[in-house]
Amino acid sequence: MPTHGRQGLERLLIGSTTERVVRRADIPVLTIRPDSDVTVTHPYRNVLVPTDGSDCAREALETGVDVATEETAALHLLSVVDVTSLGVDVRIQMQMKFLEENATEIVEDATEFATDASVDPVSGSVVLGTSIHGEILAYIDEHDVDLIVVGTHGRTGFDRYMLGSVTEKLVRTSPIPVLTVRTTEAET
């Protein structure tokens, strides 16, 4: 599905058919921005699955493993630790270490799952940053990624419109196709 990449008030007021489909579809949805700066490469050589260890991310991982297997592509696993939520505290180093260790364990578990499914090669990374979606976009550029496979909870309502989500920001701004996978426990 194409996406216009609307931002801010225009997106809030006009909405997006693509975003509604992504939030409600029972099957994965492939979105591509129809801009001239969007790169579409097929067959996929490098597939990225951002993960936070949630059920939603696990379903995206399973789909990402299937795509990487079918395409004989390399699978990249990424967990981003959002350091903006830490605030200013003397215990910040302990908190950051704990979050980084947790993210590393999530990536190691995902790597083991992909390896057990015979995906080769598989690489895992943990990065610290102030913008999860920004770190994902930077990873895409640095690693020549062709496809992002990401989970979505399918949330609706005012909070989702005001706050948005990492998945919806990726759908609107990604320079490559985004395959969204809605979790089966999602709200309708």
Q: For position 127, which CATH number holds?
A: 3.40.50.620
Q: How far is CA 114 from the centre of its chain?
A: 17
In a domain, 147, yes or no: yes
The 10s digit of each residue's pLDDT in 88-124 is: 665 666 777 888 899 999 999 999 999 999 999 999 9
The number of folded domains in the chain is 1
CA-based Rg of the chain, rounded to a whole angstrom?
Answer: 16
In a domain, 3, yes or no: no
In a domain, 1, yes or no: no
Predicted model pTM = 0.83
For the ranges 43-52, 78-87, 146-155, the maximum mean pLDDT occurs at 43-52
Tell me the average pLDDT of the chain: 82
Residue span of the structural domain in which 66 resides: 8-182
Q: How far is CA 20 from the centre of its chain?
A: 17
The 10s digit of each residue's pLDDT in 36-67 is: 677 788 899 999 999 999 888 999 999 999 99
Helical residues (DSSP H) of the chain, grouped into ranges: 8-14, 17-24, 55-71, 92-116, 132-143, 158-163, 166-173
